[in-house]
Amino acid sequence: MNALAKTLTGLRDVDEVQGSFLLSADGTLLARDLPAVFHAELFADVGPRLARLLDSFDARNGASTIAMRFTDHKLHVRSVGAKLLCVLSGAAVNGPALRMAMNLVARHIESEPAQTDAGAGTLSRDPSTSTSSAGPSSTSRASTSSGSRGFEPSAGPWETR
Amino acid sequence: MKDHPGSSAGSTNEEGFSANLTGASLPDLVQMECLGNSTVVVRVVSGDDEGYLYFHAGQIVHAMTQSALGETAALEILDWNRGSFEPCRAGWPSEFTITKPWQALVMSAAAARDEARRKVVDFPRERANGTATTPRPPKPITSSSRPPAHRSSLSPPPASTPPQSGMAPSGAGIERAVRLGADGRVVSTRGDADELAAMTAYALRVSALVGDELGMGDLRAVESISGGVRRLFYAEPDGKLVGLEARAEVDLGALREKLGL
């Protein structure tokens, strides 16, 4: 488990969190902490789509968050520098707790860009799968822009009280 | 106006009990007069508003407020939440202005109230070819135009999306809003929403695709905060897409609750 993937596991402290993954600015998978059912090939489409979606909100100033509410699940996306931190959860996740957990993880990710590159592509939960889409060029791109946008310390959508 | 020959309006010296009820709803009091076949004029006061309901033989036959007469006035009065309800000696009109049965009036008032409670955002600018609809709980979003391999199922909107009574006007703080037809045509807007229209269609489409790929089920809504702007996107039960935009600090919690999100 690389340092990044290990960092992601901290998100599981929050009830209902089912896993998380980190994408580069162009949507390339950098690290993941997900059940095996989410095979790496999935992210070849999902990653760039999420990156484009975030871009569509024109987030040049400060961080961005997206929360997608599905019938029984939520997908939370937060920009961390030029990267995208994504968390899968149940619909009943504790919003404030998750925001705090994502803040902490984001802080770690931003403070350790070098380790991000070194560990790109390593899986945390399912060693049998690979992150083939996480190529060196994309991780390099991600690291060079890391930290340029910061992250939001406060509210995200879908607050649960 | 003239005095009605058979009127007992304002006959406070007649036999019977007077009552001071607390907690009764106006429809309850109206029903009581109607079922009692009353012929009476009732003065209804609610805050600064004042109106009169004319009952004749158990039917509401006339009503007036400071700004309306007839059925419109009756519905206005029936929409008031609190106040006083007392017989009075008001003069009777030369002709009755309401022919609708009192039950229908009460039902119409209740329906109008429910509709107002469900209303999420006002769209003052309806497009010429569009149809204004009252927002209801959001419908799961599927990418129905996608190839069959990416099929997504529909699920019904949540069963429990109660209208919120007594809440502040929802939609407060929303600066821009747009409603799109399923084909992407702009049906109605609030504020300058051309860019928001494109964003709404795109965000819901891409999010539905992502959800399908990850096996997350049906998309209900997307909310984003970016550049100090908060946006909420969802689909209405009839398939129309709605995008709302407010400042990031605006709390959309009440709106989410109203939408059953």
Residue pLDDT tens, chain B, 261 long: 444 444 444 444 566 677 777 777 888 888 888 988 999 999 999 888 899 999 999 999 999 998 889 999 999 999 888 888 888 988 898 889 999 889 888 888 888 777 666 556 666 555 554 444 444 455 666 554 443 333 333 333 333 333 333 333 345 688 899 999 888 888 888 888 888 999 999 999 999 999 999 988 889 999 999 888 899 999 888 888 999 999 988 888 888 877 777
Contact A71 B140 (CB under 8 A): yes
pLDDT band for A120, please (50, 70, 90 cuts): very low
Contact A45 B213 (CB under 8 A): yes
Q: What is the average per-residue pLDDT within A63-77? A: 92
Amino acid code (one letter) for A155: A
Q: Which pLDDT does position A61 carry in this prediction?
A: 60
Contact B199 A42 (CB under 8 A): no
Token reading at B54: 């004319």
Are the C-beta atoms of residues A124 and A6 closer than 8 Å to each other? yes
Query: Half-sphere exposure (CA, 13 Å, Cβ side) for B84?
Result: 10
Q: How many CB atoms lie within 10 A of CB B38?
A: 18
Name the closest residue on chain A to residue B230, using Cα atoms: A157
Q: Which pLDDT does position B122 carry in this prediction?
A: 63
Name the more confident of B15 and A16.
A16
Give pLDDT tens digits for A143-153.
333 333 333 33
ipTM here = 0.72
> A3-124: which CATH topology?
Beta-Lactamase (3.30.450)
Q: Which pLDDT does position B123 carry in this prediction?
A: 64
Among B141, B153, B210, B220, most A C-beta atoms within 10 A, so best to mutate, is B210
With 0.90 as the threshold, say if the pTM is over it.
no
Phi, psi for residue B69 in degrees, rounded to 5 = -130, 160
Q: What is the average per-residue pLDDT within A124-140? A: 38
- Contacts with B226 from chain A: Cβ below 8 Å: 54, 57-59, 62, 64-65
Contact B227 A58 (CB under 8 A): yes
- For A71, the closest of B206, B213, B217 (CB atoms) is B217
Are the C-beta atoms of residues B133 and B181 closer than 8 Å to each other? no
Indicate whether A30 pLDDT > 70: yes
Q: Which pLDDT does position B127 carry in this prediction?
A: 56
